[in-house]
Amino acid sequence: MKSLFDKLWDAHVVVQQTADKPAILYIDLHLVHEVTSPQAFDVLRERGLTVRRPDRTLATMDHSIPTVPISSLSELDVVSETAAAYQIRQVMKNCSDFGIELKDFTSPDRGIVHVIGPELGATQPGKTIVCGDSHTSTHGAFGALAFGIGTTEVAHVLATQCMLQRKPKSFAINLNGTLQRGVSAKDIVLRIIGEIGVAGGTGYAVEYRGSAIGALSMDERMTICNMSIEAGARAGMMAPDDTTFEYLAGREMAPKGAAWDAAVARWRELPGDPDAAFDREINLDVSVMKPMVTFGTNPGMVVAIDEPIPAPSGNDKAFAKALEYMQVEPGQRLAGTPVDVVFIGSCTNARLSDLEAAASIVKGRQVADNVRMLVVPGSQRIKNEAEAMGLDDIFKAAGAEWREPGCSMCIAMNGDTVAAGRLAVSTSNRNFEGRQGSGARTVLASPLTAAASAISGTVADPRQLVD
């Protein structure tokens, strides 16, 4: 009796693990970006190694890239810090030296690494996927086994297309019920992290199952798998189904014709056996969930928007430090707290449906005077599609900034930052101290909640604004 995870694992073992040695696991797709790869390419150079499978490697530039329009390296130099511009040049040189396809800042395919993999159809069910980036778990939404890895492992995969790994334990999170209006996939995953804690998934590969998953779009499934790492999980995944296949059909790197039919037939075999065993299992009912907002400095410090911030248990120094940093108190409700910045973006929530959700709230309304609202599409294609639908006009008319794609304020490496002490409601995935800029305070929320907060000028419950 095998789970989805067992099947994915077993199909990629090159050499089985033993008591003495981890397994050698084959990697089908390696995604590369500018921040975690330069030192790995240096290792290859030092040892005279080549990239084993450039055809299974795909690179982009997303973290340190500016979100103002640039069309040349000389324009990049004007808008970027020297180190960031150098890093962009390095990834261009490395990809060219080692024969890797790079979606650079002039490419119509460019965007956040975890957005473009699925969008191009490179992310497929049954694959093992790695990237030097913890949110690689996103790709698990397609029934892939996707791990975030460090730079040493990036070098391993470049050189050998393999990594050393011991099989993690398995964790089933069963989600049933129907979401209420104004509540979204982001709220589900924040609720899960609140439930199991930021270390609750440590050592596990998580499989999300249940009727609620079947009802979600691929965009929504990716939002949930994306944040698996915020619960400490090694990977997050969902069984592929017709929704998955419909999403992939016709995409550039997806199989075509007879190869497509054969692939779908294989993919239909991937879902786990009904009686597959897991090391841990929990059940949650999504129909009672509400919009969620974080109040502290990790994604597990989260409450429903209309509920009070809890009191710390015992002498929890980190909890007290977090509340002090966020300038909030136990018993307080976040709704109504003044907001300085609203960021709609990141690999968690910058896909087309996220932008549509935010636009549905913003349409015909104005961003509050005290708020700077930044909308950063996850990819160039999403930007183009959104513009074709007129979403950019809705945002701009409301007073929001409409930017070029990239990670932007999610990680604040490219010049898009939140100033010290300012409060940002963000659709990204991390509210760590200083994540959006030194001293910046971050409230994580769904696109609906973020957009509602931009309009109201305070942290706001979107359920009053959705029709």
Partner 1 sequence: MEPIKSITSKTVVIPLDDIDTDQIIPARFLTTTTREGLGEHLFTDWRYTKDGTPNPDFVLNAPEAQDAQILVAGRNFGCGSSREHAPWALLDFGLRVAISTEIADIFFNNALKNGFIPVVVDADTHAWLLENPGVEITVDLESSTVIVPGRDPVPFSVDSFAKYCLLNGLDQMGFLTQHADDIAAFEARAE
Positions that interact with partner 1 (CB under 8 A): 14-15, 19-22, 24, 26, 35-36, 38-39, 42-43, 47, 49, 52, 63-64, 81, 83-84, 86-87, 90, 132-134, 136, 148-153, 155-156, 159-162, 164, 166, 168, 198-199, 202-203, 229, 232, 234, 298, 300, 316-318, 321, 411-413, 420, 430, 432-435, 438-439
CA distance to 14, 152, 172, 303, 455, per residue, from 465 (Å): 53, 48, 34, 20, 10
C-beta closer to partner 1: residue 138 or 184:
138
Least spacing, CB of residue 427 vs ligand SF4, in Å? 10
Nearer to ligand SF4, 133 or 187 (CB): 133
DSSP 163-209: EEEPPPEEEEEEEES-PPTT--HHHHHHHHHHHH-TTTTBTEEEEEE
Report how far residue 169's alpha carbon sits from residue 232's, in angstroms, rounded to the nearest whole number: 13
Residue 101: contacted member of partner 1, ligand SF4, none (CB under 5 to 8 Å, by partner type)? none
Compute the distance between CA of residue 108 and CA of residue 264 in angstroms, rounded to an integer. 28
Give min distance, CB of 172 to partner 1, in A: 18
Question: Which of 225, 220, 223, 221 shows the shortest CA–CA distance to 205?
Answer: 225
Minimum separation from the CB atom of position 227 to partner 1 (A): 12
Of the two residues 153 and 461, which places its CB atom closer to ligand SF4 in the complex?
153
Q: How far apart are CA 136 and CA 27, in angstroms?
A: 13
Pairing of strands 162-165, 235-237: unpaired
Q: Tell the smallest beta-carbon distance from residue 438 to ligand SF4 (Å).
A: 16
Minimum distance, C-beta of residue 33 to ligand SF4, in the bound complex (Å): 7
Q: Which is nearer to ligand SF4, 132 or 462 (CB)?
A: 132
Closer residue to partner 1, CB minimum distance, 204 or 395: 204
Q: How far is the CB of 311 from ligand SF4 (least distance, A)?
A: 30
Q: Do 346 and 429 touch, CB atoms closer than 8 A? A: yes
First to last CA, the chain: 45
Give which of ligand SF4, partner 1, none residue 346 binds (C-beta under 5 to 8 Å, depending on kind): ligand SF4
For the record, the structure tokens of 122 come out as 């490179």
Angle 218-226/185-196 helices, nearest 10 degrees?
Answer: 30
The item of ligand SF4, partner 1, none sharing an interface with residue 112, based on CB under 5 to 8 Å by kind, is: ligand SF4
The answer to whether 249 and 242 have CB atoms below 8 angstroms apart is no
Residue 353's binding partner, choosing from ligand SF4, partner 1, none, with beta-carbon cut-off 5 to 8 A by kind? Answer: none
Scan for tokens 């996220």, then name that residue: 354
The residues that touch ligand SF4, with contacts defined as CB under 6 A, are 62-63, 112-114, 133, 135, 346-347, 407, 410-411, 428-429
